[in-house]
């Protein structure tokens, strides 16, 4: 047990609210509470803010790459669109793919993802995805309270239930693995359906719905939020323990021995990072169970600089190391590619040879010149990539509980956001909700 009694010569620092985590959700929550008149202190374990948004130079090159989140749709992702408008941030279209490669049913294909004889089966699968998405409630947060429980099964189980022919089955598995960052057996179908529903029930939007990015990168948004958050930001403050009670409020202990005190706290950290913090009293049983097991996304986002690759490439496949490869543009006479995979037993993201083998599955003769990535699963403050839901987390109430107030504690993260969970827009909506819950509670006590 981590002691939380501050020695007399190290009196806790005081604030109205402590925000633990300086990702998008934490920065938005701090900003909204500061604007409401509360004194806010933000504790961030890294030496930078931004969390799983991180833009830096591709190692050994002059190309700036997004190691975390990057792409979005302003039209559908309104929480993010409002922030871009607020801060005057310019966006650009990634441009449509021009060269398609599909590895489905064990065959490398150009043009269409499945053979003509599977066309009707593919249509049936996509129709069913859209039909099931239409069963979801429309209002934010109602998904967690009123989603059809029969759809809270794994994506793999749902795909197998359709009895699809090989190429169509592989296409569905590839999309699930790419968006889930895990084996389709580990992710709830509802996690995918929430995206389809948010894209106006369009399954095709999973292919073309996220074609925009910030002209100056995600760092531009992070810089604006940090400058506008109104909180005192403490970097390098890794939180080890949080204790709350009615008499003393909330006390927080960091790894370097500092104590902080406030009336309330927002834990704006990923689900997988919660288990590293001692919480007193013990959190709700559903939250404790989710933190112990963790959300399933352990995606590998691999950046590659490669030669002999056609411009405008989009490659999707199953039974291979990378389920998705996109061409981002030209750099120094080569193509800058981003690939997504999940099976670390099949792909060493630190090996150029392994990356070349993965790329040659789609582009025989391609040559990988350099690679770069950040291992979010090994990152102690993330312990996983973007948030996805395990089967059962909706129907057993886990996600609903994470969006509720627990005494002086609220949780905020894109992993369980009220809308657009798993996306930048989700982090914004989650930070806003947590700030609203805490702000209302403090005003009632005033």
The pLDDT tens digits for 147-193 are 899 999 999 999 999 999 999 999 999 999 999 999 999 999 999 99
Question: Treating both helix axes as pointing N-terminal to C-terminal, what angle do 166-180 and 119-133 enclose, rounded to 10 degrees?
Answer: 40
For residue range 333-356, list pLDDT tens digits in order: 999 999 999 999 999 999 999 999
- Does pLDDT of 13 surpass 80? no
- Does pLDDT of 142 surpass 90? no
**Segment 19-24 mean pLDDT:** 98
Residue 82's pLDDT is what?
Answer: 98
Residue 1's pLDDT is what?
Answer: 43
E strands, 60-113, where? Answer: 64-66, 91-93, 99-104, 107-110
- Does pLDDT of 137 surpass 80? yes
**Segment 396-414 mean pLDDT:** 97
Residues in the chain: 446
What residues have CB less than 8 Å from 14, skipping those under 6 apart? 39, 261, 262
- Does pLDDT of 11 surpass 80? no
Query: Would you state the structure tokens that stand for residue 90, as one six-digit string?
Result: 């310019």
**Segment 65-89 mean pLDDT:** 97
- Does pLDDT of 19 surpass 50? yes
- Does pLDDT of 363 surpass 90? yes
Q: Which residue has the tokens 């790459």?
A: 65
Instruction: Give the C-alpha separation, 341 to 361, whole Å.
Output: 13
Q: Where are the domains of the chain?
A: 13-52+217-294+387-445, 99-208
CATH top-level class for 99-208?
Answer: alpha beta
Q: Percent of the chain scored above 90 by pLDDT?
A: 90
Q: Residues 297, 377: contact at Cβ < 8 Å? A: no
Give me the CATH topology for the region 13-52+217-294+387-445. FAD/NAD(P)-binding domain (3.50.50)
Residue 374's pLDDT is what?
Answer: 98
Q: Percent of the chain scored above 70 by pLDDT?
A: 97
Residue 3's pLDDT is what?
Answer: 52
Q: Whole-model pTM?
A: 0.96
Query: Would you state the structure tokens that stand for residue 143, as one six-digit string?
Result: 């998904």
Residue 248's pLDDT is what?
Answer: 78
Q: Which residue has the tokens 């749902």?
A: 158
- Does pLDDT of 416 surpass 50? yes
Q: Residues 299, 341: contact at Cβ < 8 Å? A: yes
Cis peptide before 281 (omega within 30 of 0): yes
For residue range 284-307, list pLDDT tens digits in order: 999 999 999 999 999 999 999 999
- Does pLDDT of 9 surpass 90? no
**Segment 405-428 mean pLDDT:** 97
- Does pLDDT of 117 surpass 60? yes
**Segment 304-325 mean pLDDT:** 98
- Does pLDDT of 443 surpass 90? yes
Q: Residues 157, 200: contact at Cβ < 8 Å? A: no
Half-sphere exposure of 204 (CA within 13 A, CB side): 1
- Does pLDDT of 7 surpass 70? no
Query: Angle 196-200-203 (CA atoms, 0-180°, nearest 5)?
Result: 40
**Sequential DSSP letters for 395-446:** TTSHHHHHTS-BTTEEE--GGG-SSSTTSHHHHHHHHHHHHHHHHHHHHHH-
Residue 329's pLDDT is what?
Answer: 95
SS (H, E, C) 170-229: HHHHHHHHHHHCCCCCCCEHHHHHHHHHHCCCCCCHHHHCCCEEECCCHHHHHHHHHHHC
**Segment 37-45 mean pLDDT:** 98
Report the mean per-residue pLDDT for the chain: 95
Residue 10's pLDDT is what?
Answer: 55
Q: Which residue has the tokens 């022919």?
A: 165
Residue 60's pLDDT is what?
Answer: 86
Residue 8's pLDDT is what?
Answer: 43
Q: Residue 4 — very low, low, confident or very high, per pLDDT cuts 50/70/90? A: low
Q: Residues 300, 55: contact at Cβ < 8 Å? A: no
């Amino acid at each position: 047990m981590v002691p939380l009694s501050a020695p007399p010569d190290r009196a806790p620092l005081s604030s109205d609210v402590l925000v633990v985590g300086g990702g998008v959700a934490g920065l938005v929550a701090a900003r909204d509470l500061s604007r409401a008149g509360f004194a806010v202190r933000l504790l961030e374990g890294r030496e930078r803010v931004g969390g799983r948004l991180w833009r830096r130079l591709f190692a050994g090159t002059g190309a700036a790459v997004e190691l975390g989140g990057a792409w979005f749709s302003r039209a559908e992702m309104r929480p993010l669109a409002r922030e871009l408008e607020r801060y005057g941030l310019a966006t650009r279209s990634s441009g449509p793919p021009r060269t398609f490669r599909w590895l489905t049913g064990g065959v490398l294909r150009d043009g269409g993802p499945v053979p003509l004889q599977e066309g009707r089966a593919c249509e049936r699968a996509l129709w069913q995805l859209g039909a099931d998405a239409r069963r979801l409630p429309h209002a934010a947060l109602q998904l967690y309270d009123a989603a059809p429980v029969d759809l809270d099964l794994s994506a793999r189980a749902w795909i197998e239930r359709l009895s699809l022919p090989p190429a169509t089955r592989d296409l569905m598995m590839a999309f699930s693995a790419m968006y889930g960052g895990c084996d389709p057996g580990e992710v709830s179908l509802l996690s995918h359906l929430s995206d389809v529903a948010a894209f106006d029930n369009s399954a095709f939007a999973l292919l073309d719905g996220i074609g925009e990015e910030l002209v100056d990168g995600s760092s531009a948004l992070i810089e604006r939020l940090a400058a506008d958050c109104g909180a005192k930001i403490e970097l390098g403050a890794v939180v080890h323990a949080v204790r709350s009670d009615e008499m003393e409020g909330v006390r927080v202990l960091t790894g370097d021995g500092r104590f902080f005190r406030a009336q309330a706290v927002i834990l704006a950290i990923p689900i997988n990072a919660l288990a590293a913090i001692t919480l007193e009293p013990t959190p709700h049983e559903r939250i404790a169970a989710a933190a112990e097991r963790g959300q399933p996304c352990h995606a590998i986002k691999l950046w590659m600089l490669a030669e002999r690759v056609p411009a405008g490439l989009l490659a999707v496949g199953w039974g291979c190391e990378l389920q998705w490869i996109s061409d981002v543009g030209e750099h120094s006479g080569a193509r800058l590619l981003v690939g997504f995979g999940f099976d670390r037993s099949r792909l060493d993201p630190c090996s150029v040879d392994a990356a070349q083998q993965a790329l040659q599955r789609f582009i025989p003769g391609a040559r990988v010149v350099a690679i770069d990535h950040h291992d979010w699963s090994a990152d102690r403050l993330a312990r996983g990539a973007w948030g996805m839901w395990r089967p059962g987390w909706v129907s057993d109430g886990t996600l609903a509980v994470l969006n509720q107030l627990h005494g002086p504690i609220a949780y905020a993260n894109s992993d369980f956001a009220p809308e657009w969970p798993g996306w930048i827009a989700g982090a914004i909506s989650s930070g806003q909700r947590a700030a609203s819950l805490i702000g209302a509670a403090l005003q009632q006590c005033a």
